[in-house]
Amino acid sequence: MTAISKGGGEGFLQIGIAQALRKIVLVKEDMDDEEKQVILAFLSQSADAPGGHEVVGMLKQIHDEMSNSFTEATSVENAAIEQYEELLAAKTKEIKALTADCEKKTERVGEVAVKVVDMKNDLSDMLEGLAEDKNILANLDTVCASKKKTHETNKQIFADELTALADTSRCSMMMMLWNFSKKHCLVPVPVYCS
């Protein structure tokens, strides 16, 4: 704008800034079409282009509007950055808490898995012990039946032996009594031994 206001507009139009300014004017939506035509005509240096002062005023107005828009956009962007940083800090804190919680739960899952394996091993041992106990019980029934039979046989033998001893003892007594009575001249008692 300084070059145009000092009268060096032709040199200005030859550099790339003029082309960039042309693009800005074309995309600017809040600008009147008549003002757009005036500026574009000046930038293209057509024969009916208005004087430089009028264009400089329009350019200053565009500059002021764009500066205000830039300031507003910058403050909005800074507010968004601040919000983003706050959100990032909160999410980082949340991630740390969730990570710690996940680690605790992973540790508990590992402990439970170990307990499950231990319980399975205990169950396997118990099932083996149960099978052995069932075998012992089955054998015990057989052994008990055999021992009971042997016991009944032994009881019968013992009873028979007692009866035989009692008979023998009775017979011995009778013999002794008979001998005693004979020796002492008593009436002999008849002895009946089987």
Query: In a 3-state reduction of DSSP, which class is residue 188?
Result: coil
Token couple for 99: 């990570």
Residue 79 lies in a domain: yes
Question: CA 189, CA 177: separation in Å to the nearest integer?
Answer: 7
Query: Residue 3: what pLDDT?
Result: 53
Residue 180 lies in a domain: no
Residue 146 lies in a domain: no
Question: CA 123, CA 4: separation in Å to the nearest integer?
Answer: 96
Task: Kindly report, residue by residue over 89-126, the tens digit of the pLDDT.
Answer: 999 999 999 999 999 999 999 999 999 999 999 999 99
Domain boundaries, position 28 = 2-93
CB neighbour burial string for 50-73, b if at least 16 within 10 angstroms, e if fewer: eebeebbebbeebeeeeeeeeeee
Amino acid at 148: K
Q: Which candidate, 56, 66, 58, 41, places its Cα nearest to that of 2?
A: 56
Higher pLDDT, 124 or 62: 124
Q: Which candidate, 172, 171, 175, 191, places its Cα nearest to that of 183?
A: 175
Residue 131 lies in a domain: no
Task: Kindly report, residue by residue over 119-174, the tens digit of the pLDDT.
Answer: 999 999 999 999 999 888 888 888 888 899 999 999 999 999 999 988 888 888 88
C-beta of residue 7 within 8 angstroms of C-beta of residue 52? yes
Residue 158 lies in a domain: no
CB neighbour burial string for 31-45, b if at least 16 within 10 angstroms, e if fewer: beeebeebbeebbee
Amino acid at 47: A
CA dihedral (123, 129, 131, 132) in degrees, to 10, reads 170
Question: CA 21, CA 14: separation in Å to the nearest integer?
Answer: 12
Going by the DSSP 8-state scheme, the letter that residue 159 receives in this structure is H
What's the number of domains the chain is made of? 1
Residue 172 lies in a domain: no
Question: CA 105, CA 192: separation in Å to the nearest integer?
Answer: 98
Residue 65 lies in a domain: yes
Task: Kindly report, residue by residue over 23-45, the tens digit of the pLDDT.
Answer: 887 777 777 777 777 777 777 76
Query: Residue 2: what pLDDT?
Result: 58
